[in-house]
């Protein structure tokens, strides 16, 4: 395999089929391997790149200008500090611009370097996005070398040899090591992040790679939160006497994570405790209820996805980030489809017909994205209040 590199090239993206995109390296020097997807959000690059759901993925930003608001310590979405438990790489059309925002604490490129994220700019992101739409999300390697020295055949082999996300349990790496409380509420313009000093009910969050804004949104509706690791048993969870259980978002193949998660979720559902699942949590709940999941060709990644809430006939614009989906044709009797994507008709929500159990594929907490679906946290809180037995 012979590829002639253009003069001045300091970064490349090499796909498993041998396709090479040449541009300019950004962020950390070195190379990184992952599944290449595209995200259509116009804002929130820091939140996107710190979302644990993007583990082992390289994010192509379709919006051409990235970096103008810099980064800060407050807009990190992952709970832990290990940058490996989030996006592996990033691709932009234009080189990251200097920050011009009052909340900025560091330039975007400096932040990429500090997290070890290898990035690439200067390529035709429209062409790459079109390729993903037509052929699916490829395996690829981004390499950044200031001297422009690349072993293209070796990079192509590395991409081709990678097994990919199917069958891969990443939640075990993204989850917290031990149980912990969480009291921060959502950011407001006048006061920033405030602490939840009380709460009306107890929620256990099973952490498969949870985003912090999910936890903040729960605090906003009156929860007292206890986060537990992904492999926590149902017995240990129910011993905490939760008024509700939230199944969080996270990375990887739900069928792989489901090997240990599904039996415990079945027990939690059987206990009668209200349950709310988000993204991976939605897929795991579906598996526990008897449905199946499947790998998507291009996935849904962005902040402009139209979803219809069948229970209200309302159409919402939502944030999404998933490469697997619930097979709507596999939903068993008693499981009701509540939300559907208006882009491609895929399932985006389910509920048990006669129990306070529901889940959605999209991200009602946004961060980044619209807040059309924040009401789902209130729906969860209402389920909890109705289910509670007076003392």
- Kindly list the catalytic residues: 279, 363, 365
Peptide bond into 368 cis (omega under 30): yes
Say how far apart CA 244 and CA 200 lie, in whole Å.
Answer: 12
Q: Find out whether 228 and 191 touch, Cβ atoms under 8 Å.
A: no
How many residues appear in the chain?
Answer: 391
Tokens of 223: 């929860």
Q: Is 27 left (phi over 0), alpha (psi -120 to 50) or beta?
A: left
Of 102, 139, 103, 106, nearest to 18 by C-alpha is: 139
Tokens of 177: 């090591």
Rg (C-alpha) for the chain, rounded Å, is 21
Say how far apart CA 359 and CA 291 lie, in whole Å.
Answer: 13
Distance of CA 105 to the CA centre of its chain: 24
> Which residues make beta-bridge pairs with 106?
71
Q: Find out whether 235 and 268 touch, Cβ atoms under 8 Å.
A: no
Say how far apart CA 210 and CA 218 lie, in whole Å.
Answer: 12
DSSP secondary structure of 318-361:
EEEEEEEEE-GGGPPTTEEEEEEETTT--EEEEEETTSSEEEES
């Amino acid at each position: 395999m012979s590829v002639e590199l253009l003069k001045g090239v300091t970064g490349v993206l090499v796909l498993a089929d041998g396709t090479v995109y040449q541009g300019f390296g950004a962020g950390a020097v070195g190379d990184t391997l992952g599944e290449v997807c595209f995200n259509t959000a116009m804002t929130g690059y820091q939140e996107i790149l710190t979302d644990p759901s993007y583990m082992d993925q390289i994010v192509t930003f379709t919006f051409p200008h990235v970096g103008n608001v810099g980064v800060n310590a407050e807009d990190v979405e992952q709970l832990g500090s290990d940058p490996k438990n989030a996006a592996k790489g990033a691709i932009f059309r234009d080189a990251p611009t200097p920050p011009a925002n009052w909340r900025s604490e560091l330039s975007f490129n400096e932040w990429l370097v500090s997290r070890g994220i290898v990035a690439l700019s200067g390529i035709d992101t429209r062409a790459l996005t079109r390729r993903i739409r037509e052929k699916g999300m490829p395996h690829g390697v981004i390499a950044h070398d200031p001297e422009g020295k690349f072993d293209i055949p070796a990079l192509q082999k590395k991409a081709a040899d990678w097994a990919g996300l199917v069958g891969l349990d990443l939640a075990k790496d993204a989850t917290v090591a031990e149980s912990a409380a969480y009291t921060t509420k959502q950011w407001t313009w006048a006061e920033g992040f405030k602490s939840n000093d009380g709460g009306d009910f107890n929620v256990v969050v099973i952490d498969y790679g949870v985003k912090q804004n999910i936890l903040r949104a729960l605090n906003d509706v009156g929860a007292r939160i206890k986060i537990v690791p992904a492999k926590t048993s149902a017995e240990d969870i129910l011993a905490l006497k939760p008024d509700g259980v939230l199944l969080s978002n996270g990375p990887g193949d739900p069928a792989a994570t489901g090997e240990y998660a599904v039996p415990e979720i079945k027990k939690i559902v059987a206990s009668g405790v209200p349950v709310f699942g988000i993204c991976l949590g939605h897929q795991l709940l579906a598996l526990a209820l008897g449905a199946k999941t499947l790998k998507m060709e291009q996935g849904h990644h962005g902040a402009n996805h139209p979803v219809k809430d069948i229970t209200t006939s309302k159409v919402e614009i939502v944030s999404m980030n998933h490469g697997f989906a619930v097979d709507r044709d596999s939903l068993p009797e008693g499981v009701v489809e509540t939300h559907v994507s208006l882009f491609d008709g895929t399932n985006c929500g389910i509920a048990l017909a006669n129990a306070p159990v529901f889940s959605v594929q999209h991200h009602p907490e946004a961060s980044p994205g619209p807040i059309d679906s924040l009401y789902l946290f209130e729906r969860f809180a209402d389920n909890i209040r109705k289910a509670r037995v007076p003392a």
